[in-house]
Chain A
Amino acid sequence: MDLPGITEVADARLGIWRPGDAWLAGGTWLFSEPQPALTRLLDLHAFGWTALQVSPDGLDIAATCTLAELARQEFPPWQAASLVGQCCAALLGSFKVWNTATVGGNICLALPAGPMISLTAALDGVAEIWGTGGAVRRIPVADFVTGPGRCRLRPGELLRSVHLPIGALQCATAFRQLSLSALGRSAAVVIGRRSPSDGALVITLTAATTRPVQLRFPAPPGPDGLLATLAAAAPRYHDDVHGAPAWREAITRQLALEVLDELERL
């Protein structure tokens, strides 16, 4: 760490949040560049949260769970479990980052290409947020991220965990991810899931869009229906060096059709 402005790394359980503080989980972004506005880090590991908890209701992922822990976990025979590995592999990072970066950090960083946003949004994940006064509130991850680098955390709030409901985990899924270079930053991630009970279909768009976008269908809509719904949703496509908005829009349509086709054939 080369953060000369930091005067203290404190136990997050004991520190009362104040301006100049930052929650420390994996630190892969915090330590990657100068943070002149920060004076203290509040270490979330002090909470000792269990990384992953499987229950009849689904899966709870602690904010401090690393990508490596998530990827190594053996899950019950949920059809959607394959998404975990696919999304972890979509992270642009070295093995060091893989072993250090956390699910919570990736979500709170709120980059369009954040693969944990893709995973948890696609599975209707709900973020549990702790406020400074002990208040707890819950927000769907798809709504938690509001734009590139923006989320609904207020000053002093922290992301405690994400709950993935059992209903989503039991869905069949289809995954498409695309980047300009092998293992590069995602230009588009399209994830579909189809309920085994009623055939309902959810397609979640991330990376190509500035924030998660979900398209819900009671049954597979067919290509025209999908494209019409997508057009009506009018997502805002992200613009950076990893892909022009028009191209991202085009490939999102293409990948969404592929996802639909794959899930329709089930």
Chain B
Amino acid sequence: MTAPTGPAGAPRGLSTQVTAGVGSSPRRPDGTPKVKGEFAYSSDMWMEDMIWGVTLRSPHPYARIRSIDIGAALAMPGVYAVLTHEDVPCSKFYGLEIVDQPVLAVDTVRYHGEPVALVAADHPEIARQATKSIRVDYDVYEPITDARLALGHPGWNQVHNAPGAVSELSRERAALHPQGNLVRHLKLRKGHSDPVADVVVGGEYEVGMQDQAFLGPESGLAVPTGDGGVELYVATQWLHVDQRQICAALGLSPEKVRLTLAGVGGAFGGREDLSMHVHACMLALHTGKPVKMVYNREESFFGHVHRHPAVMRFEHGADRAGTLIYVKAEIYLDGGAYASSTPAVVGNAGTMGIGPYIVPNVQVDAYGAYTNNPPCGAMRGFGSVQAAFAYEAQMDKLAAELGMDPVELRCRNALTEGSQAPTGQVIDSPAPVEELLRRLQAIQLPPQRNADADLRDLPGGVANTTHGEGVMRGVGYAVAYKNVGFSEGFDDYSTARVRLEAVAGEATVTVHTAAAEVGQGLVTVEQQIARTELGVHAVVVHPKDTQVGSGGSTSASRQTYVTGGAVKAACEKVRERALKAIRQRTGHATADLRLDSGKVISEREGVIGTLADLLGDEVIDETVEWHHRPTVAVDPETGQGFAHVQYAFSAHRAVVDVDTELGLVKVVALDCVQDVGKAVNPQAVVGQIQGGSAQGLGLAVMEEILISGGKIKNPSFTDYLIPTILDMPPMRIEVLEYADPHAPYGLRGVGEPPTISSGPAIVAAIRDATGLPLQRVPVRPEHITGT
């Protein structure tokens, strides 16, 4: 396995020696170059003779295209190509789960920013100017921007299984897609349909549209191979699904479409769908030249999916002792113009929708709808994030109604190992929900603010807006769980190729997977596993590409579990063959041998030689496709079934100071306890918890893509606010390691749970400080001041 050559900035493989295995925190091989600014991100790639691609996007959220005139653009000096849907060679549509999204708008645009045409030119500015010369004649329609209206739900209490059939909006135009505006309806039915409870609380909740806000905008470089094929270097999350969709659009076989992962500047779900992939390939094949495409920040907001906004109605019933009797919920998720991951998001919102609690009677209806808002899809913790804001608010409301401590109420109803999820699935690994909460309670609260508090520690900071007057403190708790890996019968697997050989007198392992490193540290984990399993120091991580089988998506907190499992399994095969070869050479029984620190060790005789010497010229190369336990599709009428392979649990406690006069919030503390099964890389685990918590904080009080009439109002980091180090409090984190017996090393996915429980804890703390119901996130200052 040799790293391919390619454009400047293409990955060359990471070969930093890792000196520690599973359970330690070695230096990341990509860490130093990233910190020093030497790491090549996808937007840094360069080739001689390269030209630039630019996208013309729709200015309207909903319109019919009467005509497109490309003549003036094509005539501009420096322009190599102007392409429209008519130039898409094969399938004009693509999609992760439902093939419904046009590569380039065919006759209708369904969201503001939808790609309509492409230009390739010898300079990006010339290409941009050329796009302005393309004349598109639109017949503009009124956009449909409310998910419930799109489904034909003028009121809360109607439920329709057949979208549009009884809808006042089911006119021809209102059906955004031929199949109607319903993407998915998940029904969950458990226990009695009409249970009776002593105490009942209800509420309506709303979650805004969050952006992944990754720092590296969409970019890539497509290079024609000369045989009718194309190589694409791109920042993405799932190489093989990209490849599948590109092949379908271009009408090429996978052998003709090779993908290599370029440097990725964050993803968080936003790169799971295609962006410029097919476009760059089309332009490259059309012109015969390498074509680079790089979105700017504004275009990036139009170029990827976002977190689904949600409106939810929940009702909880309990007995007077606080034992939950039932939960009823309706969850409406706005999928925007195209399906993307909406079916899976609906699945998660429904099956995880009541939180990690034991509830005998459950009735949940989760809907995903098409609208003319920007498409929504995968984002860290999807489905669960939205539902958690509602169910945790409900638990606090119920506790107040019962006169109970909110943590006691949660502990009383907490899931445990052996209990049933609302899908009927028995939790068959540790579920330490109560322990998470108890440990959080035991962490000392931050000291009360004193009269001469530093301005920097008060809401408003150094702006001198308060010296403590009008500032109220609040404390809130939240707990969450999240499915790990792909669910509901999806055949979720990863492929790993592992090669062991002696290089320059040292046993060296090369690990080759297609699992995308997006910044989370997978390359380090792959090295750690190889070292642990094969007892070597030198581990080379091959560039990620489609020359090896699929690694699956870098999402759903799954890569350490699934690709880690694949690497482990491949290493075990390599080790078995290596020991067999050594046995043949030395006569030692394989059961007597182990590999450690580059040496072969006999249990009886000690070191019998170096692995490199004993391997000699032999090269051991194994490829393994590793699948996790199968799950099943849930029953369409009841939502019952073994839907998820693993659950991961986290809990947060937030302490906030709120300036009730001005509506400003200062998060004073945000502590977290999370069970990770096995901390494969403890430092990375803490980093994931910190990062996930920050993203949860962002949704709680800062982050929202503001849409008006289907148009994004704030496509910039000046106007779309994300938390910085100034907004994040220091975190106290406790990591529990209760092994999941079904998972490699007992590990659990880590990345998503902290994004789910952090936000609801912060909002609970603001409610505690203000006494306000706060049913919408992000909480904005005017929600607190009432203005």
Question: Which B residues are CB-close (under 8 A) to A255?
Answer: 465, 662
- Given contact pairs A178-B662, A243-B781, A247-B785, A185 touches B718 in the complex (Cβ within 8 A): yes
A180 in contact with B726 (CB, 8 Å): no
Question: How far, in angstroms, from A241 to B125 measured CA to CA in the complex?
Answer: 29
Interface of B is mostly: loop
B713 located at the interface, meaning its Cβ lies under 8 Å from any Cβ of chain A in the complex: yes
Query: Known contacts A89-B462, A180-B702; is A247 also within 8 Å of B126 by CB?
Result: no
List the B side residues contacting A160 at CB < 8 Å. Answer: none
B782 and A176 contact, CB distance less than 8 A: no
Is B727 part of the contact surface with A, judged by Cβ < 8 Å? yes
Contact-residue size bin, chain B (C-beta under 8 Å from the other chain): 20 to 34
Query: Are B724 and A176 in contact (CB-based, < 8 A)?
Result: no
B781 / chain A contacts, CB cutoff of 8 Å: 180, 243, 247, 251
Q: How far is the CB of B59 from chain A (nearest CB, A)?
A: 17
Asked if A216 lies at the interface with its beta carbon under 8 angstroms from chain B, I say: no
133-180 of chain A: CB within 8 A of chain B: 175-180
Closest beta carbon of chain A to B770's beta carbon, Å: 15
The interface residues of chain A lying within 8 Å CB-to-CB of B461 are 182
List CB contacts (< 8 Å) of A233-265 with chain B. Answer: 240-244, 246-247, 249-251, 254-255, 258
* B724 and A181 form a contact (CB under 8 A): yes
B702 A249 Cβ-Cβ under 8 A: no
Residue of B nearest to A255 (CB): B465
Q: Is B576 an interface residue (CB 8 A)?
A: no
Interface centre among A4, A89, A177, A178 (most CB of B within 10 A): A178
B279 within 8 A of A: no
Residues from chain B with a CB closer than 8 A to the CB of A246 are 782, 787
- Answer whether A183 and B664 are a contact pair too, CB < 8 Å, given A176-B465, A178-B465: no
Of B706, B714, B727, B781, the most chain A CB neighbours within 10 A belong to: B781
Contact between B718 and A92, CB atoms less than 8 A apart: yes
Task: Decide: B727 and A181 in contact? CB cutoff 8 A.
Answer: yes
Count of A interface residues, CB-CB < 8 Å: 32
Q: Which of B206-243 contact A (CB under 8 A)?
A: none
Check B661 for interface membership: any CB of A closer than 8 A.
yes
A182-B726, A242-B719, A246-B782 known; A176 vs B463 contact (CB < 8 Å) = yes
Task: A258 to B719: give the CA distance in the assembly, Å.
Answer: 28
B55 to chain A, nearest CB (A): 15
Q: Once bound together, how far apart are the Cα atoms of A240 and B716, in whole Å? A: 13
Would A254 and B724 count as touching, CB distance under 8 A?
no
Q: Determine whether the beta carbon of A181 is less than 8 Å from that of B702.
A: yes
Cβ of A241: which chain B residues have Cβ within 8 Å of it? Answer: 706, 713-714, 719-720
Are B706 and A182 within 8 A (Cβ)? Answer: no
Contacts of B726 in A (CB 8 A): 181-183
**Are B663 and A247 closer than 8 Å at their CB atoms?**
yes
Q: Which of B460, B465, B706, B714 has the most CB of A within 10 A?
A: B465
Complex CA distance for A34 and B54, rounded to whole angstroms: 14
A19 at the binding interface (Cβ < 8 Å): no
Q: What is the distance, in angstroms, from A111's C-beta to the closest C-beta of chain B?
A: 10
Smallest CB–CB gap between A97 and chain B, Å? 12
Residue A198, interface by CB 8 Å: no
CB distance from A235 to the nearest CB of B (A): 15
Inter-chain contacts of B125 with A (CB < 8 A): 2, 4-5, 34
A36 within 8 A of B: yes
Within 8 A of A (CB), among B160-192: none
Across the A-B interface, the 10 shortest Cβ-Cβ residue pairs: A182-B726, A247-B782, A250-B787, A177-B463, A241-B714, A4-B125, A246-B787, A241-B719, A247-B787, A181-B721
